[in-house]
Amino acid sequence: ELGPTFVKVGQNLGNRPDLVREDYMEELTKLQDRVPPFPDAIARAMIEEQIGGPIADTFSEFDEVAVAAASLGQVYKARLRSNGAEVAIKCQRPGVKPQVMQDLYLLRWVAERSLNEYARSNLGCEATLLVDEFAEKLLEELDYVQEARNLREFYANFRSDVRVRIPYVYSDLSGPKVLVMEWIDGVRCTDASAFESDAAKQRFISIGVESGLAQLLEAGLFHGDPHPGNVLALRNGNIGYVDFGNVLALR
């Protein structure tokens, strides 16, 4: 009910066992892909505006209900009419940027007036600095044009590694508020039934470590938000990454 910015704060805290106790973390992780969706009719209108015509002209199949909803957008599954490929369509929440800007202003106001001294004593930096960094990355996640560029670069970096799945982005169908990309047929890596065997689970862990190091040490470009909703497990232990709005570069 507080809106996308505070959902994002909850998502981040859900990845911080050093700050949040376990039972709270378990609840906060639900915010990673189980946020109440906005109306599907609005999403359909956004998609049709982006592709320039009826959904049926471009997609032979289209799930009418979102398969996942998060703080800033939601995802639909479809099939391209042109080549039969399954795709994920990511739609940005309507009116999200003005609301985020307002929330960030309020967060910084609170940090400056009430939290700076606590943060300096306990975290070694001012709370306003933390809010500013959070704001920078959050606003980047609203830029779907940049996310499409990130997808293309990650796809190129891992194109030769069959163990790591990065969605191919269909740039001709994508725009500032809609992204159309390859569907990765995986599940949350924390799902109890994610793997076909214990060996597959061990393979996933190894690939995760190796692909993380490759991002950091070889490509100089790495996923900035690898929570379980964005790191998918494939049955055989291969790994898939999704959601490239938050990307960090070492140049």
Torsion from C-alpha of 127, 129, 130, 133, nearest 10 degrees: 160
Q: To which H or E segment does residue 182 belong?
A: strand 178-182
The yes-or-no answer on residue 23 being catalytic is: no
Q: In angstroms, rounded to a whole number, what is the distance separating the alpha carbons of residues 233 and 243?
A: 15
Contact between 207 and 201 (Cβ < 8 Å): no
From the candidates 18, 161, 198, 225, give the one annotated as an active-site residue.
Answer: 225
**140, containing H or E segment:** helix 127-141
Q: Which of 132, 170, 128 is nearest to 152 (CA)?
A: 170
Contacts of 190 (CB under 8 A, 6+ apart): 29, 228
Question: Distance between CA 22 and CA 27 in Å, rounded?
Answer: 9
Q: Which residues are tagged catalytic?
A: 225
